Amino acid sequence: MADGFKLESQGIKELDQVFTTLCSSQQRAVMLSNFRKAAKPLIKQTRSNYKSNHGATTKSGTFKSIGNSARRQNINLRVGARVAGKYKGYHAHILDKGTKERFRTTKSGKRVSTGRIVGSKFFTNAVNTSQPQIEKRIKDEFYSTLSAYIQRYNKRKSKQK
């Protein structure tokens, strides 16, 4: 999804004009809402893969941390294991990709193996299987998200009067 793509509309020029007239914070809100809706299948697939590869536990810190978080600088969304605040997905990258053989040195100078972790690729496989679905959802949900945002905005304005 790092490649990006263009949204092309056919016959919905009014909504395009409304979107371009919104201020940048409102555009950001519409796009992040759209991205969150589109990311739901990826999060669901990632959690499913994690359960099947690492047991049926839903109480682990990594399982609870799988979700999305908005980035502050640009209009983008990060999906995966979160580590900030109450989330403890610190070692999710190790569980996904694994490690090579690791060693430690004893006091006598011998190298002793401490083992290796075989990656389960729970997140990588989820991305590969759900990427086409996510791209389709982003395109399909954009105008419904925009129209819902406009309705919410108008409702707030009418309450203020």
Report how far apart, in Å, the C-alpha atoms of 103 and of each of 26, 46, 97, 98 are. Answer: 52, 31, 19, 15
**pLDDT for the residue numbered 110:** 95
Using 50, 70 and 90 to split pLDDT, how confident is the model at 26?
confident
Examine residue 130 and state whether it is found in any structural domain, yes or no: yes
Examine residue 7 and state whether it is found in any structural domain, yes or no: no
Q: How far apart are CA 70 and CA 11, in angstroms?
A: 30
Examine residue 61 and state whether it is found in any structural domain, yes or no: yes
Using 50, 70 and 90 to split pLDDT, how confident is the model at 115?
very high
Examine residue 147 and state whether it is found in any structural domain, yes or no: yes
**pLDDT for the residue numbered 72:** 85
107 has a pLDDT exceeding 90:
yes
Using 50, 70 and 90 to split pLDDT, how confident is the model at 123?
very high
Q: Total domain count for the chain?
A: 1
Examine residue 129 and state whether it is found in any structural domain, yes or no: yes
112 has a pLDDT exceeding 90:
yes
The pair of three-digit structure tokens given for residue 70, joined into one six-digit string = 């908005």
Its pTM stands at: 0.76
**pLDDT for the residue numbered 4:** 45
Examine residue 136 and state whether it is found in any structural domain, yes or no: yes
Q: What is the mean pLDDT of residues 50-71?
A: 84
Examine residue 4 and state whether it is found in any structural domain, yes or no: no
**pLDDT for the residue numbered 113:** 93
Examine residue 21 and state whether it is found in any structural domain, yes or no: yes
H or E stretch at 116 = none
Range of the domain at 37: 13-155
Are 103 and 111 spatial neighbours (Cβ–Cβ below 8 Å)? Answer: yes
Instruction: List the one residue out of 34, 26, 7, 35 whose CA is nearest residue 144.
Output: 34
Average pLDDT for the chain? 84
Dihedral sign of CA atoms 32, 37, 55, 64 in order: positive
